[in-house]
Structure 1
Amino acid sequence: MQAVVLTTLAVLVVSLAGPSLGRSPPRAGGLSDVKPADPQIRLLVKSVEDEIVTQLPLGYDRETTLTLTPVSYKVQIVAGKNYFVKISTGFGRYIHARIYRDLRGNTSVSDVQLGKSLSDPIRYF
């Protein structure tokens, strides 16, 4: 009997602590852990590249062709997904872009933050 109780208790503790032992999936409303940019994120940024560039101020080298290279990202699950992406602009500068993809797959740029560095953490904005 005591062994059954101890086994049940151990299973309960592991099941409750399980998500904190490893990388937990993003929960609705919260941001995921930071992940390196993958091919899916590169395609996402490429699909809204013009929209990102138009949100940059004129003094932000908009006159030259910018190379937008995603570095890392976080995801927030909402009615769709918000992608918070750290992007290198190719001039030793970084920006953060919030890209929304609705449940039908339509994407739009919600916001862009300037003046970021490689070491700046990605946070909700």
Structure 2
Amino acid sequence: MHKEGTKGSRADDESCNVCAWADRASGPRRTEGRSTGRRLRRGPQPRAQPPPPQVKAQLEEKENKKFPTFKAVEFKSQLVAGRNYFIKVQVGEEEFVHLRVFQSLPHEDKPLSLSSYQTAKTRHDELSYF
């Protein structure tokens, strides 16, 4: 898991799939962004990194359909009692979904969970807290 609170340090662990995805997708630096009054960390457009496979499976189960295209195009994160990741995912040629994925604290040893999602989004819809 990555360590918060230590200025400029980050210790990655292979078990942290979303963090590893976010690091690969955004590169080493992130900028600060604000959305609906809540502080979210924004990552630039990912380099065609797919979200973790268990997230895709959870969305397909909830929507009762398969997504042949599942490519992340943007993400933001929010530190809570764990971490929320807000991910804009392209699921069709002009079809997008916004995902909120929760990563629990390390000592809880829980899998990633798809907390919420929004369908019928476009490439230009702002990715914000929901």
Q: How does 1:1-125 map to 2 (within 5 A)?
A: 23-24=31-32, 30-37=39-46, 42-44=50-52, 46-56=53-63, 58=64, 62=65, 64-104=66-106, 106-125=111-130
Write out per-residue CA displacement over residues 67-86 of structure 1, whole angstroms, 9 at most, x where no aligned residue: 21111100001111100000
* TM-score normalised per structure 2: 0.61
3-state DSSP of counterpart to 1:98:
strand
C-alpha distance 96-25 of structure 1, shift in aligned 2 (>3 A): closer
Write out per-residue CA displacement over residues 100-122 of structure 1, whole angstroms, 9 at most, x where no aligned residue: 01122631000110110001110
Matched residue type, 2:44? K
Aligned 8 A contact 2:67 2:91 in 1: no
* Partner Cα distance (1:23, 1:85) in 2: 16
* Partner Cα distance (1:74, 1:65) in 2: 22
C-alpha distance 25-111 of structure 1, shift in aligned 2 (>3 A): closer
* Partner Cα distance (2:56, 2:90) in 1: 12
Aligned 8 A contact 2:59 2:114 in 1: yes
Aligned residue-pair number:
95
Aligned 8 A contact 1:55 1:112 in 2: no
Write out per-residue CA displacement over residues 37-72 of structure 1, whole angstroms, 9 at most, x where no aligned residue: 257x6353x23211011222x5xxx1x553211111
Aligned-residue RMSD, C-alpha: 2.7
Aligned 8 A contact 2:33 2:39 in 1: no
* Partner Cα distance (2:77, 2:62) in 1: 21
Matched residue type, 1:112? Y
Task: Give the structure with the higher percent strand.
Answer: 2
Task: Give the structure with the higher percent helix.
Answer: 1
The answer for the alignment partner of 2:12 in structure 1 is: none
* Structure 1 unaligned spans of 5+: 1-21
* Structure 2 unaligned spans of 5+: 1-29
* Partner Cα distance (1:24, 1:54) in 2: 33
